[in-house]
Structure 1
Amino acid sequence: MNKHILIIGSGFSSLSASCYLAKAGYKVSILEKNKTIGGRARQLKREGFTFDIGPTWYWMPDVFERFFSDFNKKPSDYYSLEKLNPAYSVYFGKNDFITIEDTLEKIKTAFENEETGSSKKLDTFIKKAKSNYDIAIKDLVYNPGVSPLELVTPKTMTKLNQFFSTIKKDVRREFKNERLVKILEFPVLFLGAKPSDTPSFYSFMNYADFGLGTFHPKKGMYQVILAMEQLAKELGVTIKTENPIDKIIVDNGKAVGIITKETTYKSDIIVSGADYHHTETLLDQPYRQYTEAYWSKKTFAPSSLLFYVGFDKKLINVNHHTLFFDVDFDIHAEAIYDNPKWPENPLFYASFPSKTDDSTAPEGKEAGIFLIPLAPGLEDTPELRESYFNKIIDRFENVTSQNIKKHVIFKESFCINDFVKDYNSYKGNAYGMANTLTQTAFLRPKLKSKKVKGLYFTGQLTVPGPGVPPSLISGKLVADLILKHHTL
């Protein structure tokens, strides 16, 4: 009889791991605490509107293609992709914005219009970023973070200096125009740290942005979750929702089962795609690898205040993805990373999927998602949420020259308390642990428990790190590690 693997959680990394392990011949069951699968990538439907609750950016399409090709499938077998043009726009003030289009040539033109000579500098910068991308995404990130030697290859040795400089230094060395600097520094925010704390090597995110482009799956990012669910079920995976975990059972130093609200499940191996810190609290103290002091010293990616808004009219002067950088980025970053507090004047991001996709809003109406990055662990009250909604909508109306407040049909919010309640997220963080130099690769929490045999972890608090493509990769890495250490 094949060994039974229990997987905690049903986000991208868990679904990915389940597919690889089922394909290898294991009996695989997923236990999900919420009513629907997807982890942070769930969906909200209301009054004919559809919102992605979590991720809204589809970057690095090659990672998705590689995942599905491992099962002789293609993304197009499950969902249709559209390359966005424009990819996004960035507001710097009233009616003052830069639009990032769908090819590098068009983006170079936009740069040249801002700063003479910057198109040539951008060309050189993106060539280096592509070189980093080819090393990182095709090679490095598919290592399990077991040893420092994983980072030592003939290719990475030529890039060594890039691990000791930062994105901020590199960008500002070449570009003087503050608006262009902000655009080039923006992608690393997906890695959960300030540009001044992010190694230069991570410029591969700029290639993901300008070189590969931004895509939208028809009907939203949740279609990727549904695709992975379908694939998992085709491979024989069982998924059980509304099954919160109370305890991981350890016998003689080995993980042997899980106690949920409903029942006790026996297993040969356990993989947790749930929050790493929370998962360790499901173990008796002697079996936990990392102390509270360890977690408290780590740099976590931001949390977020999100609003899902239905408008009774179409909005103007915005694109599918629109960034609002009309306030000081450094002051907001300080409120996230250095002196955690609610920012006085926050940057924010807005997504209007109905600009591209008619399925996300009724005809003549607009679906809007607004996101403010926040420090994890802050106080979160209905009054604070309401005050920040009014704050960003007032600015939105001013910089885009339109009135929208009176056109709100409904709004729902999601913030720190919800990240804790729905995902057991450490301090309510949204994106996991930041990819700083001291939290890269083998320096991140391990995929394999050092204290409990047969217990593994996957997702954005372990390797490779935050984001949807890294989560897909994390599922493969943990599956490969299990196949290496266990026989069927």
Structure 2
Amino acid sequence: MADGTKKHILIVGAGPGGLTAGMLLAHRGFRVTIVEKTDRVGGRNSELDVDGFSFDLGPTFLHQKFCLDEIFAETGSKSEDHLEFVDLNPMTRLSWGDTALHTYSDTAKMAAEIERVFPGSSGGFKRYMSDHAVKFRKIYPCLQYSYQTLSAFLRPSLLRALPHVLTTRSVHDVLGDYFDEERLKLAFTFQAKYLGMSPWHCPALFSILSFTEYRYGVYHVQGGLNRISQAMAKEFEKLGGELRLESPVK
């Protein structure tokens, strides 16, 4: 742990980003205060209470759980010590009239399901997973850096990822490399809607979205995803951080 106790850091906003920064800085020995204008933590990942029932105001399921695991691990904890996760398998049930496809994060099980519903198409799925494992390894490191200087855009990791970034193709175009069946293309492209985009217009870069679900799974958090922010706030205070709610910054 670094000796940062002489510095006092103020973080505005107790959303997931502010809470993450607060946890990491407090763990490194800094004096940290998070101020939040509302009466609860979470920001877009908070909750709405109505007649004794709690509703998520933001996302309702979790994928790329390993990112959350890394945050807690950095502070010497485990996400499972604070939250109860439910691995959703099947993840979704996709229907087209009388045809239904269940999706799984188990590659072998998913390949078998595709072969059952769309005979002869499982090979394309296996190629998709193999190719996108390489694509993800190249792109993911680029998402872990700040780009506040021009030199940051010359990092070797970003240059290696450029062929996947600088393209005029869409997510739907990419899935055409693996599937002839239009319904299967849609099964692997509806994740573009997470970005508020059509798969016919969403840049090809984001074909990794469906890959992350099929590779790393989709989870429900018991009590709702707002519990993640609550758990982070508790860990932040446990690490010595100060949290001030109903404290707008003027």
Q: Which residue, out of 78, 81, 91, partners 2:82?
A: 78
Q: Which residue, out of 210, 213, 218, partners 1:214?
A: 218
2:100 and 2:117 in contact (8 A); partners too: no
User: In structure 2, what is the equivalent of residue 485 of structure 1?
Assistant: none
SS at 1:28's partner residue? strand
* Structure of higher CA gyration radius: 1
User: In structure 1, what is the equivalent of residue 207 of structure 2?
Assistant: 203
Per-residue deviation, residues 309-342 of structure 1 (Å, max 9, x unmatched): xxxxxxxxxxxxxxxxxxxxxxxxxxxxxxxxxx
Per-residue deviation, residues 121-144 of structure 1 (Å, max 9, x unmatched): 11111112122222333x221111
2:173 and 2:200 in contact (8 A); partners too: yes
User: In structure 2, what is the equivalent of residue 108 of structure 1?
Assistant: 111
1:84 and 1:216 in contact (8 A); partners too: yes
User: In structure 2, what is the equivalent of residue 144 of structure 1?
Assistant: 146
**1:325-336 paired onto structure 2 within 5 Å:** none
SS at 2:71's partner residue? helix
User: In structure 1, what is the equivalent of residue 16 of structure 2?
Assistant: 12
CA distance in 2 between partners of 1:102 and 1:222 (Å) = 24
Q: Show structure 2 runs of 5+ residues with no match.
A: none
1:220 is displaced (CA, Å) by 1.9
Indicate how the Cα distance of structure 1 residues 169 and 148 shifts in structure 2: closer, same or farther if over 3 A, else same: farther
2:207 matched to 1:223?
no
Per-residue deviation, residues 152-206 of structure 1 (Å, max 9, x unmatched): 5656555433221332211123323222111211223324433344433332222
SS at 1:131's partner residue? helix
Q: Show structure 1 runs of 5+ residues with no match.
A: 246-258, 260-488
1:15 is displaced (CA, Å) by 0.4
1:232 is displaced (CA, Å) by 0.7
Q: Give, as a single letter, the amino acid of the residue that structure 2 aligns with 1:39.
A: G
2:138 and 2:160 in contact (8 A); partners too: no
Q: Which residue, out of 68, 93, 101, partners 1:64?
A: 68
CA distance in 1 between partners of 2:154 and 2:114 (Å) = 35
Q: Which residue, out of 31, 49, 72, partners 2:35?
A: 31
Q: Which residue, out of 131, 134, 137, partners 2:134?
A: 131
User: In structure 2, what is the equivalent of residue 253 of structure 1?
Assistant: none
User: In structure 2, what is the equivalent of residue 190 of structure 1?
Assistant: 194
Q: Which residue, out of 228, 239, 242, partners 1:238?
A: 242
Q: Give, as a single letter, the amino acid of the residue that structure 2 aligns with 1:146.
A: Q
Q: Give, as a single letter, the amino acid of the residue that structure 2 aligns with 1:25.
A: G
User: In structure 2, what is the equivalent of residue 89 of structure 1?
Assistant: 93
With normalisation by structure 2, the TM-score equals 0.86
Q: Give, as a single letter, the amino acid of the residue that structure 1 aligns with 2:163.
A: N
CA distance in 1 between partners of 2:158 and 2:244 (Å) = 42
Per-residue deviation, residues 10-43 of structure 1 (Å, max 9, x unmatched): 1100101111222233322222122211101112
User: In structure 2, what is the equivalent of residue 428 of structure 1?
Assistant: none
1:148 is displaced (CA, Å) by 5.6
CA distance in 1 between partners of 2:226 and 2:110 (Å) = 29
Indicate how the Cα distance of structure 1 residues 2 and 194 shifts in structure 2: closer, same or farther if over 3 A, else same: farther
CA distance in 2 between partners of 1:156 and 1:184 (Å) = 25
2:45 and 2:56 in contact (8 A); partners too: yes
Q: Give, as a single letter, the amino acid of the residue that structure 1 aligns with 2:125.
A: L
With normalisation by structure 1, the TM-score equals 0.46
Identity, % of aligned positions = 25
The Cα RMSD (Å) is 2.4
1:44 and 1:53 in contact (8 A); partners too: yes
1:52 is displaced (CA, Å) by 1.6
Bigger helix fraction:
2
User: In structure 1, what is the equivalent of residue 163 of structure 2?
Assistant: 161
2:25 and 2:32 in contact (8 A); partners too: yes
CA distance in 2 between partners of 1:203 and 1:152 (Å) = 24
SS at 1:140's partner residue? helix
2:172 and 2:200 in contact (8 A); partners too: yes
Q: Give, as a single letter, the amino acid of the residue that structure 2 aligns with 1:98.
A: L
Indicate how the Cα distance of structure 1 residues 99 and 49 shifts in structure 2: closer, same or farther if over 3 A, else same: farther
Per-residue deviation, residues 374-429 of structure 1 (Å, max 9, x unmatched): xxxxxxxxxxxxxxxxxxxxxxxxxxxxxxxxxxxxxxxxxxxxxxxxxxxxxxxx
Higher relative contact order (CA 8 A, sep 6+): 2
Indicate how the Cα distance of structure 1 residues 65 and 88 shifts in structure 2: closer, same or farther if over 3 A, else same: same
Q: Give, as a single letter, the amino acid of the residue that structure 1 aligns with 2:233.
A: E
1:188 and 1:198 in contact (8 A); partners too: yes
Q: Give, as a single letter, the amino acid of the residue that structure 1 aligns with 2:216.
A: L
